[in-house]
Amino acid sequence: MEHIRILRKSQGLSQREMAQLFHTSQQSIYKYETGQAYPSLSTLREMSTYFNTTIDYLISDDSVEAQTGAIPQLRLTQDEFNLLQNYRLLAPQGKKMLRTISSKMTKNLDSEP
Q: At 60, which CATH number?
A: 1.10.260.40
The answer to whether position 73 is within a domain reads no
**pLDDT computed for residue 64 by the predictor:** 45
Residues 51 and 23 in one domain: yes
Residues 9 and 45 in one domain: yes
45-99 per-position pLDDT tens digit: 999 999 888 888 888 866 544 444 555 666 777 888 788 888 888 898 998 999 8
Inter-CA distances, 64 with 3, 5, 57, Å: 11, 15, 12
Is there a contact between 82 and 74 (Cβ–Cβ < 8 Å)?
A: no
**pLDDT computed for residue 97 by the predictor:** 93
- Note down the domain range covering 97: 78-111
The pTM of this model reads 0.56
Domain total of the chain? 2
Tell which residue, 98, 90, 109, 50, has the closest CA to residue 74: 50
Residues 7 and 47 in one domain: yes
Task: Choose between 70 and 41: higher pLDDT.
Answer: 41
